[in-house]
Amino acid sequence: VPGLYLVATPIGNLEDITLRALRTLRSVDRIACEDTRQTQKLLNHFEIAKPTISLHEHNERERTTELIEDIRSGKSIAVVSDAGTPAISDPGHILTRAVLEAGLSIYPIPGANAAITALIASGLNSTTFRFLGFLPEKTGARRSYLESLAAESTSAHEDEKSAPATLIFYEAPHRILETLSDLESVWGADLRIVVARELTKLHEEFLRGSVSEIRTELAARDRIRGEITLLVEPAPRQSGSGEQPASLVERLAALQSGGL
């Protein structure tokens, strides 16, 4: 069927490709890839022979015109990124918008995504969360962004209507220590965080605890490698109250049912 197929691919473990993703990649006319060499490895692994073209942040706008013409003429196009779900901190969104504006069809083929994978195993509030992608790279911009988030989450927390949303970020291994020290200076040493590293891969690791504990733990390593998703529970712990997130959720449920 002609249209644009947004196909999720694994974030590490190749077994995370879905049957539908494989069938789609085998049946489309062309595959638009963030990096054709990267995707070629995946296609070789699954013995899929298909023409690929590049679609990355520097050519997404130009490519869009060409791909829309393809779809108009009855072709089906898959979009894949290097890993995970297209259009999530990855190319695909500009093309998606343009395809919709042209009145053509979009078919999402869901699969792996680092943010959701990290969230479900984090133990942090997974009912409400905010995915915020990559933080600003420059120290000043990152600090002021984190300060604005802290201000928002504190005021949102004051009304006690809801547990604060978990914040989810993507972060580069060479910047994680700097970011953790920024988090600590903005929110305090007791801020609960989770560092999810190398999800679905051989050296998958979760570090759960206060920002100061985890920063110390990571700083003691020779080198921090691999891909990192960072989760933050923005409620500043009241010292001495020792309240766990679960009890907050229970209290909320009790409040809603008029039990408190």
Is 200 a binder of ligand SAM (CB under 6 A)?
A: yes
Is 194 a binder of ligand SAM (CB under 6 A)?
A: no
Cβ proximity to ligand SAM, 33 vs 235, nearer residue: 33
Cβ proximity to ligand SAM, 76 vs 229, nearer residue: 229
Is 171 a binder of ligand SAM (CB under 6 A)?
A: yes
# residues near ligand SAM by CB under 6 A: 24
**Which residues have a Cβ under 8 Å from the Cβ of 189 and sit 6 or more positions away?**
210, 211, 212
Nearest approach, Cβ of residue 9 and ligand SAM (Å) = 9
Binding-site member from 71, 84, 186, 214 for ligand SAM (CB under 6 A): 84
> Which residues share a beta bridge with 107?
5
- List the one residue out of 182, 178, 176, 157 whose CA is nearest residue 233: 157
**Which residues have a Cβ under 8 Å from the Cβ of 214 and sit 6 or more positions away?**
180, 193, 195, 207, 208
Other C-beta atoms closer than 10 Å to the C-beta of 102 total 13
Q: How far apart are CA 142 and CA 95, in angstroms?
A: 29
Cβ proximity to ligand SAM, 84 vs 164, nearer residue: 84
Is 113 a binder of ligand SAM (CB under 6 A)?
A: yes
Is 229 a binder of ligand SAM (CB under 6 A)?
A: yes
Nearest approach, Cβ of residue 196 and ligand SAM (Å) = 5
Is 89 a binder of ligand SAM (CB under 6 A)?
A: yes
Is 81 a binder of ligand SAM (CB under 6 A)?
A: yes
> Which residues share a beta bridge with 84?
9
Nearest approach, Cβ of residue 219 and ligand SAM (Å) = 19
Q: Contact 35/82 with Cβ under 8 angstroms?
A: yes
Nearest approach, Cβ of residue 257 and ligand SAM (Å) = 37
Angle ∠(57,93,72) on CA atoms, nearest 5: 105
Region binding ligand SAM by CB under 6 A among candidate stretches 52-60, 108-116, 122-130, 139-147: 108-116
Is 199 a binder of ligand SAM (CB under 6 A)?
A: yes
Q: What is the dihedral of CA 143, 147, 148, 151, to 10 degrees?
A: 170
Q: Contact 116/154 with Cβ under 8 angstroms?
A: no
Residue numbers of the site for ligand SAM (CB under 6 A)? 11-12, 81, 83-85, 88-90, 113-115, 170-172, 196-201, 227-229
